[in-house]
Structures are given as C-alpha cells and as structure tokens.
Amino acid sequence: MEIIGTALNRVDARDKVTGMAKYTGDLVGPHALIAKVLHSTFANGLVTSFDLSEAWKVPGVVDIVTCFDVPDIQFPTAGHPWSTDKKHQDIADRKLLNTRVRFYGDDIAAVVAENEIAATEAVRKIKVSYEEYQPLLTIEAAMQAGAGAIHDERPGNVVVRSSYEIGSFEDAIKEPGLIRIEGDYETPIVQHCHIEKALSFAYMEAGKIVIVSATQIPHIIRRICSQALGIGFGDLRIIKPYIGGGFGNRQDALTEPLNAFLTMRVGGRPVKLEYTREETFCCTRVRHAMKFHIVSYVRADGTFAARSIVAYSNQGAYASHAHALVANAVNGFRMMYPQGAIKSEAYTVYTNLPTAGAMRAYGIPQIGFALESHVDDIARATGLDTIDLRTRNMMKLGYVDPPTSITCHSTGLAECIQKGEAYLKYRQKREAYAAQTGLVRKGVGMAIFCYKTGVYPISLETSACRMVLNQDGSLQLQMGATEIGQGADTVFAMMAAETLGMTMDKIHVMSRQDTDTTPYDTGAYASRQTYVSGMAVKKTAESLKSKILDFAAFMLNKEAWDLDIKDNQIVRKNMGTPLISVAEVAVESCYSLTNSTHIAAEESHHCSDNTYAFGVCFAEIEVDIPMCQIKVLDIINVHDSGRLINRQTAEGQVHGGMSMGLGYGLYEYLKFDPKTGRMLNDNLLDYKLMTAMDTPELNAAFVETDDPTGPYGNKALGEPPVIPVAPALRNALLNATGVAVNSIPLNPEKLFFAFERAGILS
Amino acid sequence: MTRKTVTCTINGKRREFSIDVRSSLSEMLRGEASLDSIKHGCDVGECGACTVLIDGRPFNSCIYLAVWAEGKEILTLEGLTDTKGTISDIQQAFMDEGAVQCGFCTPGFIMSSIPIITSDTPASREEIRKQVSGNLCRCTGYENIVNAIEKTQKKRIEERKGSGKK
C-alpha cells in the first residue's frame, strides 16, 4: 500500500488554520431570530402554570411557547440506529418541553425574539408556578422503597436491570485453594466539553424544515425529529457542517427537535438556538457515573476461577442511551479476561440529575477504572506480578465471546504491553518504588483494555459512499459518515486514493452532510467509521474504478481485465506502462458523441462482523503526600488498532484520548448541590478541564496488526485512548503510597481523606 | 439602545463601525466585519477561542467591549494570510504538526502563539504551555500544538540570526 499507513496532513487543515472552515454558527444569516430556553430551577416536580404577561411586553419578542403548547408526543433522543423491533427501540420518555420536571435545568418554555438580549430578557420575565417534590439525587435515594417515580412508566426508577452468567459461578467458587478478593469502585459524572457550544439553526424551505446542526449523526437526527414532531422523514432535511468536537455528546438529539418546532411556529423564519456554556454543561448530556462491586476468586498461579460484578449506572433524568452504557461496561468486564465463571448484574437508574448519554468509549472508561484497579488489588493480595497476572488471563487470539459471538480476529496486546514496559522500565521501577517512606514518593502503574469496533451485533451497522468523476479526472467523495475532528475525511480520502490508484489531490471530500443528498450512514460513534464506513469507501472505489476501466477499454479497444490505474494513469496490468490518463477517460466519457456516460458510483456496506482493538497505558507519577497532589512524570499509551491509516491523525487521537483520560483520573467531576440538585461547576473555570500547563508530555506508540475483517486491516482507534489512563494513574498511586483509592478523580480533597485514613499524612 | 461609532485598524485596514455600545469586540468582528475565525466557546473569557491581538497583545475579544477598540490595531487569524492566499509559517506548522483536529480552538491558539514566535527570547516548552494556557482544547492534548509553536519559534529565531549576520 502506498498511501495507507503514511502520515499526511488533514484534508481540512488549511481551511481550519485560515478561519475558512464554516461551523454552524458561521452559517446563520444576519436576520435569524434568536431562541432561548427557560430551564427549571427545581429538580423534581410539576409545572402548574405560567404568567407570560411581563415576558410578552419585552420589545422584540416574536413567540413564547411553554410545555403546555408542545405536541403530546414522547420521543427518544439516543443516536442509535433505529430498530424496527419494538423490544430494542430506545425509550421515548421526553417531550419538546416538559411539564413534569425531572432535573434542575429541564426545558419548560422557550422564547423566540428578534435579538439575543430580548430573548434572554423575556425568558427571565416568565413566571412559573409549580409543585415541587423531593429530589432523588443518588442511585440509593431513587431505588429506596417508597421513592416516587421520576417517570410513571418506571415505578421503581430502575430503567433496566440485566444479568448474565457464563458457566456456574456458585460451582466454580467451590474449588479448593482459591483466594477471594473484593472491591468497590466508583466513577464520577463528567462532561465532554467540546469547545463549540451546543447549537443549531432551523428554517423552512421548499416545504421542508431544514436544520443546520453541530451533530455527529445527521441521518439519525432526521429520524428523531420526525418522531418528535410527528412528521415524515422527507419533511426534514439535516445539514451538518464542520463541528467543534463531539466526543459522544452529539450522538444524541440536543437542540434540534425543539428548534424544528420553533421555526414551524414562526412561519419558517430562521431560528438560531445556541446554548450558553452553562447550558451546554447542564442541559445536553454527561458521562454516566457508575458504581461497581467486584468479587474475584483466583488460583495460586494467578488464573481467574470465578468473578462477579454488580454495576449501578446513574442515568439522570431521561433515558437517552440508557442501559446500553452499563451493558457495554459489564460486557467489557467479561471480554477483557474471559477466564472461568463470570456472573453479572447491572442496573440503570433514573435520578433527578442531568441526563447521561454517550461519551468517548461508552461505559468502558468506567469499567476500565474498576476492573484494572481491581486487577492490581488482586496482584497485591496474591503477591503476583501485575503484568503476568494480566497476560495469563487476558483475551487471546481466536476468542469468541459467548453471548455476542464477537471474535478476536487479531491481537497485538502482549506486544503492546512489552513495548510500554520497555519504555517506562516499569518492572524495575515498580520494585524500586515499593518501599518508600518520604513525604514525596514516586510510583508506576499500568492498565490494559479491549474495545469493540462498531456496534455489531447489538445494532445495525450500515454505511454508504458516493463518488462522482469530474472531467479533469478528479472526483467528489461523499460520505454519510461524519468528520467531527477525528480526521475521518482525511482517512476516507486516503482509502479512496489507495484503492483507485489515484493521488490525494484528485480526491475532493464533500465534508458537509445534507440528508437530502448525502448517502446513508448512521454517523460518527463507536469508533466505527474507518472500519464500517471505510468498507463502503473501498467498495465504491472498486466500483468506480471498474467503470473507469470499462470506458478506458472501450476507448483503447482493449480488455478491461487487463487494465489498471496507477498514479492517475490507465496502465496495462502488471506492466505499469501508462496508456492514457484518467482525465482523458473522464473527458471522453462526458463528451463522447457515441457513448457518453456519467461515471459515478455508489455502494453501501452492511457490516456483519466486529473485532477488538487493544492497548495499554503505563504511567509514572510523583505524589506529594502533605499537599495531596499527583504529578505525572511520564506517560505512554501503546495501541493495537490494526493497521494505521494515517499516522499523523492516529497519533492525534491517542494524544487527545490520553488527555481526556488524565482529566478523568485527576481533575474532572461535576458537582451538585445536595439539596436542590443544581449543578455547581457548570463553566470552564470551575470545571477543571486541563490546560496545556496541566498536561504532561504525551507519548503515543503503536503495535500494528493486520486485522482480516477491517477494510485495510484497521480496527477501532477514536475512543480507546481515553480508557486505560485513569486506572494506570490509580495503580501508580498504589505503588507509590500503598494506598488504594477506588474512586476518581484523584484530586487533593479525595487524597487528603485517603491518606488520613491510611495514616501517612502526619 | 445607544449606538456609537468605533474607528480602528483591523488586519492592516482602517475600518469604521456603528455599533450597539453593549457589543463585545468579538460580536463586532464577527457580525460587522464578517471575521468568522473568531469563535465563541464560552462568552466569558474562559476558553480563548475568540483570541485576537490588540496592539500586539492577545485578548479574549468576547470580554473586551467593542467601544474600547477605538484607535486600536487589531489582528485576527484572517490577517495572517496575505492577499495572494499565502499562509504564515505558524499556520503551516499547525498543519504539518497535526495540531488541528476539530479546528474550533485553532484560530485562538494561533493568535496566542504570535507573541511567543515573535519574541527574541526563546521560550521553553514549559513557558510555551504557560503562555497558551488561556486557550482550551479538548481534542489534541496540546502535544502537537506545543510542537507547532516550538518549531516555528526556533525557525524564526534562526531566520533572525541569519538576517542579523548579513
């Protein structure tokens, strides 16, 4: 392969460094109306009435809608492919505006005005009367006997409970000589913090509602808006320009359904609905907080005889992606170490907190923290080597996961571990740091992960691609799959160039999706696009190539099977001698007086396979015990994501994921008033998003395998880098101090109490 | 609503705007001058996506009143590309080092890096990190952004040395 596997600059880099790249906010015309939402200032209750008289008096107000004016339709918001099987459909549990308020910040009314100041002022002047109920802010409170139902459809507030058992746990633990290790682990609510706020603008044109939105999933947004408004799919058109980050938050319908309704209310005039940063924190989606109880029975040689897990996931107010996250987490618990009997029980629970949805790696950072912390706890209890313990029990090549049939088609995990170990000199340092006594101590830690590529067989995996040849021999590449910053457009262009035998400058990516014209794809999530959509690119390129060669054969009076394309030239297969250029074929195909034809291709790919990506993080830290502070001295992630498509963007994904993992492990969490449920740190000053100064030098390394199921041997990469960082830091802290801290972030206020309990503070 | 005329230099050209006195500089630059490289990520000076240079110093234009721009020289990202479309070395370095992902924070980062790359005193990586810590990025982990700035700074110092010798 000539192009695949090289390091190329992004196809959108120039537009982005010159300010030419257009984002949703750059496409709003100067005369758009501005919408603002009134959010509830109580977490649990019922709106009984509004007094809008003062709000209507604000000059410039065009329309005011309340929860009493919206269609009586409950709709789902999760960005999943729709299931025609009722049992697998997402939970429809919210309206465009809600009378029954379920979190502090729920949408209860909206104002459309001629300018932002008027809209903001009118929202402030709406008076609300309501009945307030006791907010249920924790899983324990929501599950307590007698707790009121947050949604009438789920009286005990449990959204879903699920369980599985592989082998017999009860039989397995009867084996003599087993060592029992038990632990509780907890992860916090955090937020995606894409730098572009949540926004969309909507208008009507040619009888359709057009929504321009910062979304990862334009085709799914069209389906959700159609359900929310009770109108046809064809009555809606979604346009997705460049977006300022997604990380899963935009794998959900956010502002779009309400905004579509608002433009209908004002006769199709353009309406911009842009959340503030505070609203983006509180009123979009967050990462699920989870709690895990793990019990392991381990043989003296370190092999796992039996393990059990009980998991609780805090869903917040609305179902969104609901149980899919914790289900993914407990499946990951099984897949990573598929040894012995394994038993799981998982609960997703409604609470009166902001809604949790998808976020980078979808439940796996949560289980990754719990599981990899627990494995170090096992090593500590048994005296076994942390690496040997993992390699003995981890997934091996050829593994077939019993419930899902997902097969390990390739693995470089053992090599990843070796590479990381050699870089950090982990074993040597681990021993050296084992018995320190000073106030400032060093420690090393590591953690591994496995991650599925896409969502098969849980959900549909489909993708389509279109290529249209221009008269100069260049082509438009059009994808339903979306560029969200991860570099999708660039790798799709590389795949097209590679398969067609053309150079990169001939591939024009149409980055903007428009559901009226863009081929179907479910969008950017699950690290699926290079794997699933990449296959659509490959198939379309093959189809286009065969059409070009057919026409060339006609022109040259040769057989198409004997021709190939190399460097934009038609050549004799295996000979390489240029016969004619693709440009000449393109011109003739367009203007031939005897045989003109439009050379274009469109193919869709229905993916019915999956494969595991793997990786490891090794970290070295310094702990200042009196200051209760952790400083990262060195950190490396080593990934097996199959063959790399673009080394530059691959490395970028690893850096970004590591940074998000460092934030998750050390700094980030959303804080709520325990009385009212109000979010307390809903801004970028009080929420500790890492700055460049807080970030250590990041090292990204790879072990390349050639996955037989990937279109170019490739596997998932976008999400995985975030997974192993937090547990590696926690295990480094354990190595440094002997103190096991089982919840993140490992910030000073947590370390203070942990160190005090351990008696190492004085 | 009170309006006021503001006269200032934007990217080398003298401009005059009649603006609502409540407007921020970022609103004036986006709304009146169509300079869309200025991004709003927070509107309160936390994220740095709206960074522009005012008389050579980086400011969050979202919390700088438009009326304060009277008589000032303002440089935005658009001003780094010349009239023939040739981009500056720092923009090229952001491309080559993979310092761009979603691109939303990129204009602010490039503007914040200008005082570093135009300074005669070489900045360490640590100092570069400090000087751009008013700009937030969620995609890159900052690694390649620091690389791009460091590389351009070194290149410019070399160039200045070279021209000094002549």
Q: What ipTM did this prediction achieve? A: 0.98
Residues A72 and A104 in one domain: yes
Residue B142 to residue A656: CA distance in whole angstroms: 8
Q: Which of A16, A24, A79 is nearest to A197 (CA)?
A: A24
State what percent of residues in chain A have pLDDT above 90: 98
Distance from A65 to chain B by nearest Cα, in Å? 26
Q: How far is A242 from chain B (nearest CA, A)?
A: 8
Residue A655 to residue B144, Cβ atoms within 8 A? yes
H helices, E strands: number in chain A: 19, 27
Q: In this structure, which amino acid lies at residue B19?
A: I
Domain boundaries, chain B: 3-80, 89-165
Q: Is A295 exposed, middle or buried (0-12, 13-18, 19+ CB in 10 A)?
A: middle
Q: B residues 6-35 near A, CB within 8 Å?
A: 22, 31, 35
User: Mutate which of A16, A243, A685 to disrupt the B interface (most B C-beta within 10 Å)?
Assistant: A16
Residues 89-118 of chain B with CB under 8 A from chain A are 91-92, 94-96, 98, 100-107, 110
Chain A residues within an 8 Å CB radius of B95: 9-10, 13-14, 17
Contact, A42 vs A101, CB < 8 A? yes
User: Are residues A482 and A617 part of one domain?
Assistant: no
Contacts of B31 in chain A (CB under 8 A): 30
Q: Do A14 and B87 touch (CB under 8 A)?
A: yes
pLDDT of residue A576: 84
Contact flag B102-A117 (C-beta cutoff 8 Å): no
Residues in chain B within 8 Å Cβ distance of A16: 100, 103, 106
Query: Is the pLDDT confidence value at B149 over 60?
Result: yes
pLDDT in tens, B11-35: 999 999 999 999 999 999 999 999 9
Q: Which residue carries 């977006």 as its tokens?
A: A243
Q: How far apart are the first and last CA of chain A?
A: 61
Do A450 and A477 reside in the same domain of the chain? no
Averaged over A516-530, what is the pLDDT?
A: 97
CATH number at residue A525: 3.30.365.10
* Region A198-203 average pLDDT: 98
Least CB–CB distance from B98: residue in A193, A648, A689: A648
Average pLDDT score, chain A: 97
- DSSP conformation letters of A386-421: HHHHHHHHS--TT-B-TTT--B-----HHHHHHHHH
Chain B residue at shortest CA distance from A26: B36
B3-80 under CATH 3.40.630.10, yes or no: no
In this prediction, residue B165 carries a pLDDT of 52
Which of B32, B81, B100, B114 to mutate against chain A (most A CBs within 10 Å)?
A: B100
Helix (H) or strand (E) holding A320: none
CA A309 to CA B72: how far, in whole Å?
Answer: 63
If pLDDT is split at 50, 70 and 90, which confidence band does B166 have? very low
* DSSP-based three-state secondary structure for A729: helix
* Burial category of A84 from C-beta neighbours within 10 Å (exposed 0-12, middle 13-18, buried 19 and up): exposed
Distance CA A178, CA A306 (A): 9
Does one domain contain both A28 and A127? yes
Best residue of B28, B50, B62, B104 to probe chain A, by most A CBs closer than 10 Å: B104
**Are A89 and A216 contained in the same domain?**
yes
Q: Which of A526, A444, A433, A406 is nearest to A81 (CA)?
A: A526
Residues near A74 by Cβ (< 8 Å), separated by ≥ 6? A92, A93, A94, A95
> Any CB–CB contact under 8 A between B152 and chain A?
no
With respect to residue A561, please indicate whether it lies within any of the assigned structural domains.
yes
CA-based nearest distance B103→chain A, Å: 5
The shortest CB-CB distance from A689 to any of B22, B136, B143 is to: B136
Give contacts of A652 with chain B, Cβ < 8 Å.
98, 101, 139-140, 144
Mean pLDDT over residues A92-106, rounded?
98
Give the closest-approach CA distance of B18 to chain A in angstroms.
16
Instruction: Find the residue in A nearest to B140 (Cα).
Output: A656
Contact A78, A318 (CB under 8 A): no
Are residues A714 and A638 part of one domain? yes
Nearest to B133 among A19, A277, A691 (CB): A691
- Is the CB of B136 inside 8 Å of chain A's CB atoms? yes
The model's confidence at residue A1, banded by pLDDT at 50, 70 and 90, is: confident
Number of A–B residue contacts, CB under 8 Å: 171
Angle at A748 between CA A746 and CA A750, to 5 degrees: 60
Residues 6+ apart with CB under 8 A from A114: A33, A34, A60, A61, A62
Query: Mean pLDDT, to the nearest integer, of A35-46?
Result: 98
Residue where a domain terminates, one of A606, A630, A663? A606
Mean pLDDT in chain B? 96
Residues 53-92 of B with CB under 8 A from A: 76-78, 80-81, 87, 91-92
Based on DSSP, count helices (H) and strands (E) in chain B, helices before strands. Answer: 5, 5
In a domain, A161, yes or no: no
3-class SS at A685? Answer: coil
Q: Do residue A19 and residue B36 have CB atoms under 8 angstroms apart?
A: yes
Residues contacting B161, CB < 8 A, separation 6+: none
- Residue A162, domain member (yes or no): no
Mean pLDDT of B57-84: 97
Residue A744 belongs to a domain: yes
A171 is a domain residue? no
Q: Which residues of B touch A662 (CB under 8 A)?
A: 141
**Residues A242-294: tens digit of each pLDDT:** 999 999 999 999 999 999 999 999 999 999 999 999 999 999 999 999 999 99
Contact B102 A655 (CB under 8 A): no
**Whole-number pLDDT of residue A762:** 75
A628 and A703 in a single domain? The answer is: yes
A409 and A474 inside one domain:
no
- CA-based nearest residue in chain A for residue B87: A18
Which residues are CB-neighbours of A645 under 8 A, at least 6 positions away?
Answer: A4, A5, A491, A494, A495, A530, A534, A712, A714
What angle (nearest 5°) sits at the alpha carbon of residue A55, between those of residues A53 and A58? Answer: 115
pLDDT at A575: 85
Residues A634 and A664 in one domain: yes
Q: How far is A698 from chain B (nearest CA, A)?
A: 6
Encode A428-462: b = buried (16+ Cβ within 10 Å), e = exposed. Answer: ebbeebeebeeeebbbbbbbbbbbbbbbbebbbbb
Of A230, A248, A274, the domain-final residue: A274
Residue A221's Cβ-side half-sphere holds a number of Cα atoms within 13 Å equal to 37
Same domain, A367 and A507: no
A574 pLDDT tier (thresholds 50, 70, 90): confident
Distances (CA, A) of B100 to A64, A713, B9, B67: 41, 26, 29, 33
**A79 & A22 share domain:** yes
Report the pLDDT value the prediction gives residue A42, as an integer from 0 to 100: 98
Show the domain range for A443: 289-456+609-758
For residue A95, the domain's CATH number is: 3.90.1170.50
Among residues A606, A638, A660, the one where a domain terminates is A606
Q: Which CATH class is domain B89-165?
A: mainly alpha
Q: Over 50: is that where the pLDDT of A359 sits?
A: yes
- Which residue type is seen at A26? D
A197 and B143 within 8 Å at the Cβ level: the answer is no
How many residues in chain A? 762
CA-nearest residue of chain A to B103? Answer: A16
Q: Do B135 and A692 touch (CB under 8 A)?
A: yes
Residues of chain A with pLDDT > 70: what percent?
A: 100
Nearest by CB to residue A19, choosing from B78, B96, B128, is B78
**Residue A720, domain member (yes or no):** yes
Q: Which residues of A touch B37 (CB under 8 A)?
A: 18-19
Long-range contacts of A398-401 (CB under 8 A, 24+ apart): A399/A335, A399/A338, A401/A331, A401/A334, A401/A335, A401/A338
Taking contacts as CB-CB distances below 8 angstroms, the residues of chain B near A685 are 46
Best mutation site among B113, B143, B144 for testing chain A: the one with the most A CBs within 10 Å? B143
A339, A304 Cβ separation under 8 angstroms: yes
Question: Is A244–B128 a contact, with Cβ atoms under 8 angstroms apart?
Answer: no
Whether the bond into A721 is cis, omega within 30 of 0: no
Q: Please report the pLDDT score of residue A386 as a whole number.
A: 98
> Nearest CA to A639 among A697, A727, A696, A705?
A705
For residue B142, give the DSSP letter. Answer: T
Measured between alpha carbons, how far is A21 from A701 in angstroms, rounded to an integer? 30
Mean pLDDT of A157-173: 98
Chain A interface includes B148 (CB < 8 A): no
- Answer whether A621's CB lies under 8 Å from A660's CB: no
CB atoms within 10 A of CB B34: 10
From the number of C-beta atoms within 10 Å of its C-beta (0-12, 13-18, 19+), residue A69 rates as middle
Per-residue pLDDT tens for B84-121? 999 999 999 999 999 999 999 999 999 999 999 999 99
Domains of chain A: total: 3
Query: Do A423 and A411 share a domain, yes or no?
Result: yes
Separation in Å, CA of B158 to nearest CA in chain A:
24
CA A411 to chain centre: 23
